[in-house]
Amino acid sequence: MNDNEKALMHHFEMIAHSQGTMQFLYNLFGGGFVAKQQAKETIDFCIAKMKRDIESNPNLTREQKDHEISIRECWFNAMKNSLGL
Protein backbone atom coordinates (compact mmCIF):
# COMPACT_ATOMS: atom_id res chain seq x y z
CA MET A 1 0.00 0.00 0.00
CA ASN A 2 1.51 3.37 -1.00
CA ASP A 3 1.51 6.50 1.15
CA ASN A 4 -1.54 8.05 -0.52
CA GLU A 5 -3.57 4.90 0.05
CA LYS A 6 -2.42 4.73 3.69
CA ALA A 7 -3.43 8.35 4.28
CA LEU A 8 -6.80 7.90 2.57
CA MET A 9 -7.52 4.69 4.48
CA HIS A 10 -6.60 6.32 7.77
CA HIS A 11 -8.89 9.30 7.00
CA PHE A 12 -11.79 6.90 6.51
CA GLU A 13 -10.94 5.06 9.71
CA MET A 14 -10.71 8.32 11.67
CA ILE A 15 -14.08 9.47 10.35
CA ALA A 16 -15.67 6.11 11.14
CA HIS A 17 -14.17 6.10 14.63
CA SER A 18 -14.10 9.79 15.45
CA GLN A 19 -15.02 9.16 19.08
CA GLY A 20 -12.06 6.79 19.38
CA THR A 21 -9.81 9.36 17.72
CA MET A 22 -10.91 12.04 20.15
CA GLN A 23 -10.20 9.66 23.03
CA PHE A 24 -6.77 8.81 21.59
CA LEU A 25 -5.81 12.48 21.31
CA TYR A 26 -7.13 13.20 24.79
CA ASN A 27 -5.10 10.29 26.21
CA LEU A 28 -2.01 11.25 24.24
CA PHE A 29 -1.97 14.88 25.33
CA GLY A 30 -3.88 14.54 28.59
CA GLY A 31 -1.57 12.02 30.20
CA GLY A 32 -3.80 8.98 29.71
CA PHE A 33 -2.82 5.55 28.41
CA VAL A 34 -1.98 5.08 24.72
CA ALA A 35 -1.05 1.67 23.30
CA LYS A 36 2.28 1.42 21.46
CA GLN A 37 0.58 0.05 18.35
CA GLN A 38 -1.87 2.97 18.37
CA ALA A 39 0.93 5.51 18.65
CA LYS A 40 2.97 3.79 15.90
CA GLU A 41 0.00 3.73 13.52
CA THR A 42 -0.74 7.39 14.21
CA ILE A 43 2.84 8.45 13.50
CA ASP A 44 2.90 6.31 10.34
CA PHE A 45 -0.31 8.04 9.25
CA CYS A 46 1.26 11.44 9.88
CA ILE A 47 4.26 10.49 7.76
CA ALA A 48 2.07 9.26 4.90
CA LYS A 49 -0.15 12.37 5.03
CA MET A 50 2.85 14.68 5.17
CA LYS A 51 4.39 13.01 2.12
CA ARG A 52 1.13 13.25 0.20
CA ASP A 53 0.69 16.92 1.07
CA ILE A 54 4.23 17.82 0.03
CA GLU A 55 4.08 15.75 -3.16
CA SER A 56 0.85 17.47 -4.20
CA ASN A 57 2.30 20.99 -3.79
CA PRO A 58 2.73 22.37 -7.34
CA ASN A 59 4.91 25.29 -6.19
CA LEU A 60 7.89 23.18 -5.12
CA THR A 61 10.58 21.64 -7.29
CA ARG A 62 11.44 17.94 -6.99
CA GLU A 63 14.58 18.83 -5.00
CA GLN A 64 12.60 21.00 -2.58
CA LYS A 65 10.00 18.26 -2.13
CA ASP A 66 12.64 15.59 -1.49
CA HIS A 67 14.49 17.85 0.95
CA GLU A 68 11.34 18.76 2.89
CA ILE A 69 10.20 15.15 3.05
CA SER A 70 13.58 13.95 4.32
CA ILE A 71 13.69 16.61 7.05
CA ARG A 72 10.19 15.87 8.30
CA GLU A 73 10.64 12.11 8.00
CA CYS A 74 13.77 12.33 10.16
CA TRP A 75 11.81 14.27 12.78
CA PHE A 76 8.99 11.70 12.84
CA ASN A 77 11.47 8.80 12.98
CA ALA A 78 13.26 10.48 15.88
CA MET A 79 9.91 10.77 17.66
CA LYS A 80 9.22 7.07 17.05
CA ASN A 81 12.67 6.15 18.40
CA SER A 82 12.22 8.31 21.49
CA LEU A 83 8.91 6.58 22.18
CA GLY A 84 10.46 3.17 21.64
CA LEU A 85 8.29 2.28 18.65
Cα separation, 57 vs 37, in Å, equals: 31
pLDDT tens digits for range 24-79: 767 777 767 777 887 788 788 888 888 888 898 899 899 999 999 999 888 888 88
What amino acid occupies position 32? G
- The H-or-E segment that residue 61 falls in is none
Do 53 and 46 meet the contact criterion of CB atoms below 8 Å apart? no
Q: Residue 18: is its pLDDT beyond 80?
A: no
What's the pTM value of the predicted model, to 2 decimals? 0.62
Cα separation, 14 vs 12, in Å, equals: 5
DSSP 29-59: HHT----HHHHHHHHHHHHHHHHHHHHT-TT
